[in-house]
Amino acid sequence: MGNSRTLTTMQETSSPPTTAWKDFAALIKIGIVNSNLITTFTGLWLAFMFTGAHFLQSIDIVIFTLLGSSLVIAGSCALNNYIDRDIDPIMKRTKGRPTVTGKISGSRVLIVGFTFVFLGLAMLFMTNITTGIIGIIGIFSYVVLYSMWSKRLYVSNTVIGSISGAVPPLIGWAAVDPTLPPMAWMLFLLMFIWQPPHFYALAMRRVEEYRAAGIPMLPVVKGFAATKKHIIIWVAMLLPIPFFMTSLGLPFVILATAFNIGWLALGVIGYRMKDEIKWATLMFVYSLNYLTILFTAMVIFTVI
């Protein structure tokens, strides 16, 4: 116990000064909340467009869905930070989190996490039962299946974790149309397939940190060559998706296909690059732009 307190004191002394807001934002992983808010809104918006329901006349559903999903994601991320307190100090990317520096105590993290999760679920259930159930599935898959179970045991942890990341557009759609037609599942599938190449590229960049933390990420267990093959396979699996989304219009199908081919081409070029970390960085940055542009385009193309 004494050593633990000494470590906490040293971390608080050596950690850079932060504001209460920055610590809170790091605790709930505000970047993840914001990016998932985009996909949730897209699912919500498309459901309105495809069902013919009026957006402004259903503003209560919009508020409950967006705020509820944000709280669920933020609460789940806080619980993830609590679970990872022992490995986060080892990784440069995570060692500044308030759960590591001691600026937010473990008990407070649990209070924030569970409070946000329960409030968020209450809001999702206020739209309909299906939306709330999907929210529960998202929480369980991220906190239990990924954070508590597979992350430290299996190289397939990234694929298992992709379930929770693909849930937000389903939440958005279900809030308006709980029947969840094929288009809603295409959004889920697009998000599910997008995540492994995105996170494998990140894992390549942080491979030594994951190795030190004992996390069996693909590049740690199988090496860079195998990871690059997996990335390209997953990206190739995105190629047919736009052709199942033709109801969004030909311009979207062309745009999505062009982005898929561009991502695949960048991956293939990676085999010729000597600097594999640079290639991983290019793939990672491309994946971020890919997701933002395509989900924004879905909204734009249904308006114009």
Residue carrying the six token digits 């001691």:
102
Q: What is the pTM of this model?
A: 0.91
CB neighbours of 142 closer than 8 A, spacing ≥ 6? 76, 80, 161, 164, 165
pLDDT for 67 beyond 90: yes
Helix locations, 28-156, DSSP H: 30-51, 59-83, 98-101, 106-125, 129-139
Examine the pLDDT at 195 and tell me if it is beyond 60: yes
Cβ 96 vs Cβ 137: under 8 Å: no
Long-range contacts formed by 3-12: CB under 8 A, 24+ apart: 8/102, 9/102, 11/89, 11/100, 11/101, 11/102, 12/101, 12/102, 12/103
pLDDT, one tens digit per residue, over 136-170 is: 999 999 999 999 999 999 999 999 999 999 999 99
Structural domain spans, the chain: 1-180, 184-304
Q: What's the CATH superfamily of 1-180?
A: UbiA prenyltransferase (1.10.357.140)
How many angstroms separate the Cα of 75 from the Cα of each of 70, 110, 117, 234, 249?
Answer: 8, 9, 5, 29, 36
| C-alpha pair distances (Å), 154 with each of 85, 122, 189, 235 | 19, 33, 22, 22
Give the Cα separation of 246 and 225 in Å (integer): 35
Side-chain-side CA neighbours of residue 40 (13 Å): 30
Closest of 99, 104, 75, 105 to residue 86, by C-alpha: 99
Which two tokens mark 257? 């296909």
Residue 206: phi, psi to the nearest 5?
-115, 25
| pLDDT tens-digit map of 198-223 | 999 999 999 999 999 999 999 999 99
Concatenating the DSSP letter of every residue in 145-212 gives IIIIIGGGT-TTHHHHHHHHHHSHHHHHHHHH-TT--HHHHHHHHHHHHHHHHHHHHHHHHTHHHHHH
pLDDT per position as a tens digit, 5-59 = 333 333 433 456 778 899 999 999 999 999 999 999 999 999 999 999 888 889 9
